[in-house]
């Protein structure tokens, strides 16, 4: 649960229902990412998880936008068992394996010509590390070793390793590591976050032009022939909560990268592999601008497998093929047969059960209900809901307490989003909260992310919205001071 923990580190109070149990919940031999030991899950079925205390909760965010076919799909479970009976592990410098070869083919085919080769990793951060190294390797091999600079964006998240924290920019996540991050090779431009940063007198097109100019200025400032590429999440997830870019943004960014011979790189670890209702988020939310390099992870293994992948275009593949012909990068569990077999099965389920379509249909319904219940005429939460945005089954709700009316909400030092997240769990709903995503300093922001599995039903969407809205209202009522 990468993003939650990063946010939760500042919200150190355990949920109410766990407070009295603290002595029995501790000690634990795990160094948890929360100050309390989270409840233990014992069983999963579809979008439901059973906890050790006998409660059954709904997972409305697929863990960390990971679970995409639920937690108990029989075809995926069978595929893992079958592979276990064949061969669970080989080391990919010595032997390849059938599921990995099959998954790679499936991924390349999914790009409809955008991709030529693929490499595997064991998760999103590893995939993004692989992206950084592949991009640098490419320029080194095609004879442009001067290219050493990456340009990414403020309020982005690309992983929790030192390099990916350097690449991304979110003050809270950088926290104690700021002093050891690389400030020479990683540079940042503004986020594409219209709700907060588009000027009131600016059209969408003008906003895109302003952001494009800023990127181009950054290229010029660094020296265009020193830039490796521009890196962005197609739809931002773990900082600003399901935040798509304005129309035309990615086409403009790609054009600038290519003007200066640099790479256009997308991080679809969270928003990719179907989450937005298309296999790749750039197909629907990125102007159809295919990247030169792309990372995917969460929805690739759907929670059945720790896996990530790096996809590269023909240009990048040919650059590498023309020189070393190898990816100078690897990990012990890369292309693991068991995880690749699970991933193939997850992707086959998405295709055979037409889940991209369901993702779009249920996503539209989720959006409709959220708008009605949170912003409708009699909605208690309406004055505090700043924005509802997203697509597919990836929806962010951003709260704000700066209006005069918001003075009526007294959180007594607690963060609203974190309190809602904790209360929702008590009410039987897992959601994900982020703080610090509403300004560049990372000091303001209350976001909630909803990202249920792609096979969620209409009735389950209704249940999710019911519990979520009730929880928001419950927290608001508890913290409203009378006039
Ligand atoms: C866009 C993005 N990139 C990278 C990562 C890191 O992935 P992981 O937590 O699997 O290492 C995340 C995780 O939330 C993410 O949202």
What pLDDT is recorded for position 405? 82
Tell which one of 281, 291, 298 to mutate to probe ligand 1, the residue whose CB is within 8 A of the most ligand atoms: 298
Ligand 1 contact, 131 CB (< 6 A): no
Gap from CA of 234 to ligand 1 centroid (Å): 13
316 and 430 inside one domain: no
- Residue identified by tokens 């009526």 is 408
365 and 385 inside one domain: yes
CATH code of residue 423 = 3.90.1150.10
317 and 381 inside one domain: no
Gap from CA of 296 to ligand 1 centroid (Å): 9
Which residues of the chain, if any, have pLDDT below 50? 1-12, 23-24
Q: What are phi and psi of 394, to 5 degrees?
A: -140, 95
Residue 142 DSSP class: T
Residue positions counted in the chain: 483
358 and 348 inside one domain: no
10 Å CB burial of residue 49 (0-12, 13-18, 19+) is buried
Structural domain of 309: 74-352
Copy the structure tokens of residue 226. 């020193």
- Which of 352, 381, 396 lies at the terminal end of a domain, its last residue? 352
64 and 131 inside one domain: no
Each residue's pLDDT tens digit, 130-178: 999 999 999 999 999 999 999 999 999 999 999 999 999 999 899 899 9
What's the pTM? 0.95
- Which of 310, 327, 352 lies at the terminal end of a domain, its last residue? 352
343 and 367 inside one domain: no
Minimum-distance ligand 1 atom for the alpha carbon of 2: 9
Each residue's pLDDT tens digit, 212-238: 999 999 999 999 999 999 999 999 999
125 and 186 inside one domain: yes
What pLDDT is recorded for position 12? 44
109 and 160 inside one domain: yes
State how far the alpha carbon of 368 is from the alpha carbons of 2, 141, 244, in Å.
28, 50, 17
CATH code of residue 268 = 3.40.640.10
- Which of 287, 321, 352 lies at the terminal end of a domain, its last residue? 352
What pLDDT is recorded for position 1? 35
Gap from CA of 128 to ligand 1 centroid (Å): 8
Ligand 1 contact, 2 CB (< 6 A): yes
Minimum-distance ligand 1 atom for the alpha carbon of 295: 3
Residue 280 CB neighbours (<10 A): 29
What pLDDT is recorded for position 482? 76
368 and 475 inside one domain: yes
Ligand 1 contact, 3 CB (< 6 A): yes
124 and 255 inside one domain: yes
Q: 112: left (phi > 0), else alpha (psi -120 to 50), else beta? A: left
332 and 359 inside one domain: no
340 and 462 inside one domain: no
Count of domains forming the chain: 2
What pLDDT is recorded for position 6? 39
């Amino acid at each position: 649960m990468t993003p939650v923990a990063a946010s939760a580190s500042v919200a150190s109070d355990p949920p109410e229902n766990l407070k009295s149990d603290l002595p029995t919940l501790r000690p634990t031999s795990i160094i948890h990412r929360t100050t309390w030991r989270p409840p233990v899950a014992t069983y999963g079925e579809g979008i439901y998880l059973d906890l050790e205390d006998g409660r059954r909760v709904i997972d409305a965010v697929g863990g960390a936008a990971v679970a995409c076919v639920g937690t108990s799909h029989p075809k995926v479970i069978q595929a893992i068992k079958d592979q276990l009976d064949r061969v669970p592990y080989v080391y990919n410098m010595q032997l390849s394996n059938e599921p990995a070869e099959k998954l790679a083919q499936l991924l390349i085919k999914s790009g409809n010509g955008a991709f030529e080769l693929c490499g595997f990793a064991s998760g999103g951060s590893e995939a993004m590390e692989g992206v950084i190294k592949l991009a640098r390797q490419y320029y080194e091999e095609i004879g442009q070793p001067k290219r050493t600079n990456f340009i990414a964006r403020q309020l982005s998240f690309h992983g929790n390793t030192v390099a990916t924290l350097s690449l991304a920019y979110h003050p809270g996540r950088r926290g104690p590591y700021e002093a050891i991050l690389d400030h020479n090779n990683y540079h940042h431009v503004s986020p594409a976050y219209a709700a907060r940063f588009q000027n009131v007198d600016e059209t969408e097109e003008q906003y895109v032009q302003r952001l494009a100019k800023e990127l181009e200025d950054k290229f010029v400032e660094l020296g265009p022939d020193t830039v490796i590429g521009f890196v962005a999440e197609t739809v931002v997830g773990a900082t600003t909560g399901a935040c798509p870019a304005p129309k035309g943004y990615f086409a403009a960014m790609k054009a600038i990268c290519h003007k200066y011979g640099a790479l256009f790189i997308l991080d679809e670890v969270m928003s990719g592999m179907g989450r937005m209702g298309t296999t790749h988020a750039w197909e629907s939310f990125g102007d159809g601008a295919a990247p030169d390099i792309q990372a995917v992870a969460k929805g690739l293994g759907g929670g059945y497998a720790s896996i990530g992948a790096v996809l590269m275009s023909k240009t990048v593949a040919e650059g590498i093929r023309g020189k070393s012909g190898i990816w100078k990068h690897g990990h012990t569990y890369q292309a693991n047969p068991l995880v690749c077999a699970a991933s193939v099965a997850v992707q086959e389920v998405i295709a055979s059960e037409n889940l991209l379509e369901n993702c779009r249909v249920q996503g539209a319904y989720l959006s409709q209900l959220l708008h009605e219940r949170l912003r409708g005429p009699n909605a208690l939460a309406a004055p505090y809901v700043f924005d509802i945005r997203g697509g597919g089954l990836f929806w962010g709700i951003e709260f704000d307490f700066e209006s005069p009316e918001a003075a009526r909400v007294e959180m007594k030092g607690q963060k609203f989003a974190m309190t809602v997240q904790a209360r929702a769990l008590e009410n039987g709903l897992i959601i994900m909260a982020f703080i610090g995503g509403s300004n560049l300093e990372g000091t303001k922001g209350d976001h909630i992310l909803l990202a249920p599995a792609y096979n969620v039903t209409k009735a389950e969407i209704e249940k999710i919205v019911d519990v979520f809205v009730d929880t928001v209202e419950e927290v608001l009522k508890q913290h409203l001071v009378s006039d």
